[in-house]
Amino acid sequence: MIKRVKKIVVLVLTTTMLFTTGITAFAGSEDGWNEAKYTDAAKNGAWDKWVKTWETVKNNPTEISLTPGRNASELNFAWYSKNAEPNSKFKIGKKQDLSDAKELNVKTENAVTGYKSNKATATGLEENTKYYYSYQVNGVWSVATPYKTQSTKSFSFLYVGDPQIGSSSSNIAKGADTTQGQDAAVRNDSFNWNNTINTALKSHPNVSFMLSAGDQIQTSSPKSDEQNIEYAGYLSPDALKSLPVATTIGNHDSKSPNYSYHFNNPNASTLGATAAGGDYYYSYGNTLFITLNTNNTNEAEHEQVIKKAISENPNAKWRIVTIHHDIYGSGDSHSNELSVIELRYKLAHIFEENKIDVVLTGHDHTYSRSFMLKGGVNDGKMMDDEDTYEEQYAKELAGEETTQQYKDYLNNIDDPEAIQQVKEDITYKNGNVVDPSGILYMTANSASGSKYYNLINTKQSYIATRWQEDIPTYSTIDIDEVSFTINTYRTDNGQKIDNTFSIIKSIDKSSLNELISAGEEKSKETFTPSSFNKLEKALAAAKAVSSKPSANSQEIADAYTNLKEGINGLEDKGDKTELKKSIDDAQALLDSSVVGNEEGQYPSEAKEKLQSAVASAKATVESDDATQSTVDKAVDALNEEIKGFKSKKVVKQNTETPGNQQTTSNNNSTTPNNNDSTASNNDNDSVSTTTSGKVKTGDDFNAYPIIAIAGVSAAALVYVNRKKKFKEAK
Beta carbons of 236 and 62 less than 8 angstroms apart: no
CA angle 444, 3, 248 (to 5 degrees): 35
Q: Give residue 308's pLDDT band: very low, low, confident or very high (50, 70, 90).
A: very high
Mean pLDDT of 447-476: 95
> Is the pLDDT assigned to residue 26 strictly greater than 80?
no
621-633 confidence digits (pLDDT tens): 999 899 888 898 8
**Least confident segment among 152-166, 310-324, 373-387, 512-526:** 373-387
Give the model's pLDDT for residue 553: 83
Beta carbons of 88 and 135 less than 8 angstroms apart: yes
89-128 confidence digits (pLDDT tens): 999 999 999 999 999 999 999 998 889 999 999 999 999 9
Reference 504, options 562, 464, 544; nearest CA is 562
User: Higher-confidence residue: 435 or 344?
Assistant: 344
278-291 confidence digits (pLDDT tens): 999 999 999 999 99
What radius of gyration, in Å, describes the C-alpha atoms of the chain? 28
> Is the pLDDT assigned to residue 721 strictly greater than 60?
no
Give the model's pLDDT for residue 654: 60
> Is the pLDDT assigned to residue 389 strictly greater than 50?
yes
Reference 305, options 359, 268, 263; nearest CA is 268
Beta carbons of 701 and 22 less than 8 angstroms apart: yes
> Is the pLDDT assigned to residue 11 strictly greater than 50?
no
- Rounded CA-CA distance 173/24 in Å is 12
> Is the pLDDT assigned to residue 198 strictly greater than 60?
yes
- Rounded CA-CA distance 30/26 in Å is 9
Give the model's pLDDT for residue 410: 92
> Is the pLDDT assigned to residue 660 strictly greater than 60?
no
Query: Above pLDDT 70, what percent of the chain?
Result: 84
Strand, coil or helix: what is 122?
A: strand
Beta carbons of 80 and 260 less than 8 angstroms apart: no
405-430 confidence digits (pLDDT tens): 999 999 999 988 888 767 655 666 66
Beta carbons of 276 and 254 less than 8 angstroms apart: yes
**Least confident segment among 510-524, 525-539, 648-662:** 648-662
540-575 confidence digits (pLDDT tens): 999 999 999 999 888 898 899 899 989 988 888 889
124-168 confidence digits (pLDDT tens): 999 999 999 999 988 889 999 999 999 999 999 999 999 999 999
> Is the pLDDT assigned to residue 5 strictly greater than 60?
no
DSSP 81-101: EETTSPPP-EEEESSTT-TT-
Averaged pLDDT score across all residues of the chain: 85
Give the model's pLDDT for residue 471: 97
40-83 confidence digits (pLDDT tens): 999 988 999 999 999 999 988 889 999 999 999 999 999 999 99
> Is the pLDDT assigned to residue 273 strictly greater than 50?
yes
Give the model's pLDDT for residue 16: 33
330-363 confidence digits (pLDDT tens): 999 899 999 999 999 999 999 999 999 999 999 9
> Is the pLDDT assigned to residue 591 strictly greater than 50?
yes
